[in-house]
Amino acid sequence: MNDSGDLTAELLEQWAVWMRGAGMSERTVSNRLGLVDHLGRYAGVEAALAEWQHLAEFLGRDATPLISPSTRAAGGTTSPASRGRISPGTRAVNYADLHSWFSWLVAMGYRSDNPVDRLHKPRGVKRTARPITTAQLERVLATVNRRRTRAMVLLGAYQGLRAHEIAKFRGEDIDGPWLSVVGKGSKPARLPLHPAVAAIAHDFPRYGWWFPAHRGPGPVSGNSVSNTISKLMRRAEVNATAHQLRHWYGTEVLRASGGNTRIAQELLRHESLTSTQIYTFVDDDECRAAVLGLPVVGAAAVAGRRLRVVSPADDKRPSPATGWRWEGRSGVG
């Protein structure tokens, strides 16, 4: 926060105290403080005094950090590989966090208005599941050659832990057949321990951090875990991220539970079932099987025709529209 102006820096310290008092996680506090600091440096103004024009430019910025209007005016550019605006999801999160910042300033009497209210609220982003495939996970585990990295992958894939939860994992978080985790919003949860994680636990301390930082006390950061797993995936020639291990976990848990979304919701530790649906992937074959499994009743029997679906792989003359065709004969069955 050293780059913030004196006024903003002092207010950010107060806001941090307020957020902690409201029970927000350190991750949330850190992310919000960093965003406001980023705004001030990007716009070249005291973040506490920013107006809607500064915010509009900030929310429409390039994905490359700190490419400000003044930098562009001076001839600065982004690299060819990183051109393009921030994603809709990032914009929506930034909008919400900045609204919280200015709302706090208004509530505390430091401002009379919230400039975010003058902006168009970004539309909600429809997110979809992005699990790696089981074959890709097998390739990743076959490529890993360090037990530390293997443990990170197993905690992500077989316990559904997020990167920052993996980073803070301790030996004492395993208690018999259960695994304890403190997730988003500092909410504790208990999960059934998967045998793959139980097996590798013998190689790690019974008490203390599984992934201590190489320098200084405490564990590694969540970003360090993400980077470590991402490097492994690149070596395995898998185009994915660490978080996609959690998507695989959610998808496979749903399948293993016979499609019980409540079980998946509990194991993913979501308050909303809508969030769970984001993490659970249903492929085309499952959708097709569900439709073809519907009972044929009355008139739906198509005047007594006996019909069979023939896939493109089995038929040299599939329907040009769908790649599938109906095969059958007339007559009463």
Mean pLDDT, the chain cut into blocks of 10 residues (333 residues total): 70 95 88 94 94 95 61 46 73 94 96 95 71 91 95 95 95 95 84 94 95 90 94 94 91 86 86 73 72 69 52 52 49 41
pLDDT score for 279: 67
Task: Output Rg (C-alpha) for the chain, integer angstroms.
Answer: 26
pLDDT score for 26: 83
The residue out of 69, 92, 118 marking a domain boundary is 118
Q: Give a yes or no: residue 126 inside a domain.
A: no
3-class secondary-structure state, position 307: strand
> Does residue 293 share a domain with residue 278?
no
Q: Give a yes or no: residue 128 inside a domain.
A: no
CA–CA distance, 7 with 51 (Å, rounded to integer): 16
CA–CA distance, 195 with 201 (Å, rounded to integer): 10
Q: Which of 180, 225, 212, 178 is nearest to 198 (CA)?
A: 178
Q: Give a yes or no: residue 125 inside a domain.
A: no
pLDDT score for 5: 65
- The amino acid that residue 17 corresponds to is V
pLDDT score for 301: 59
Q: Give a yes or no: residue 1 inside a domain.
A: no
> Does residue 275 share a domain with residue 214?
yes
| CB-neighbour burial class of residue 8 (10 A; exposed 0-12, middle 13-18, buried 19+) | buried
Q: Give a yes or no: residue 53 inside a domain.
A: yes
CA–CA distance, 67 with 44 (Å, rounded to integer): 11
Contact yes or no for 229/242 (Cβ under 8 A): yes
pLDDT score for 316: 53
> Does residue 145 share a domain with residue 98?
no
> Does residue 45 share a domain with residue 57?
yes
Strands 306-310 and 325-329: antiparallel
pLDDT score for 260: 84
Predicted TM-score of the model (pTM): 0.62
pLDDT score for 64: 63
- The amino acid that residue 269 corresponds to is R
For residue range 263-310, list pLDDT tens digits in order: 888 888 887 777 777 766 766 776 777 777 767 776 655 544 554 555
What are the residues whose beta carbons fall under 8 Å from the beta carbon of 214, sequence distance 6 or more?
A: 220
How crowded is residue 28: how many other Cβ atoms within 10 Å of its Cβ? 18
> Does residue 113 share a domain with residue 139?
no
Contact yes or no for 5/46 (Cβ under 8 A): yes
pLDDT score for 257: 85
Structural domain tally of the chain?
3
Which residues share a beta bridge with 189? 181
> Does residue 295 share a domain with residue 224?
no
pLDDT score for 212: 95
Q: Give a yes or no: residue 36 inside a domain.
A: yes
> Does residue 275 share a domain with residue 196?
yes
Q: Give a yes or no: residue 124 inside a domain.
A: no
> Does residue 111 share a domain with residue 32?
yes
> Does residue 84 share a domain with residue 21?
yes
Contact yes or no for 42/60 (Cβ under 8 A): no
For 54, the domain range is: 6-118
The residue out of 90, 118, 146 marking a domain boundary is 118
> Does residue 271 share a domain with residue 148?
yes
Q: How far is CA 146 from CA 161, 197, 232, 301, 325, in A?
A: 19, 15, 10, 58, 50
What are the residues whose beta carbons fall under 8 Å from the beta carbon of 91, sequence distance 6 or more?
A: 59, 85, 122
CATH of the domain at 139: 1.10.443.10
> Does residue 243 share a domain with residue 146?
yes
Contact yes or no for 24/46 (Cβ under 8 A): no
> Does residue 278 share a domain with residue 168?
yes
Q: Give a yes or no: residue 93 inside a domain.
A: yes
Q: Which residues of 224-245 are buried (b: 16+ CB within 10 A; e: fewer)?
A: bbbebbbebbeebebebbbebb
The residue out of 92, 118, 144 marking a domain boundary is 118
Nearest-5° Cα angle at 111, 105 to 115:
85
Q: How far is CA 65 from CA 29, 71, 241, in A?
A: 20, 11, 20
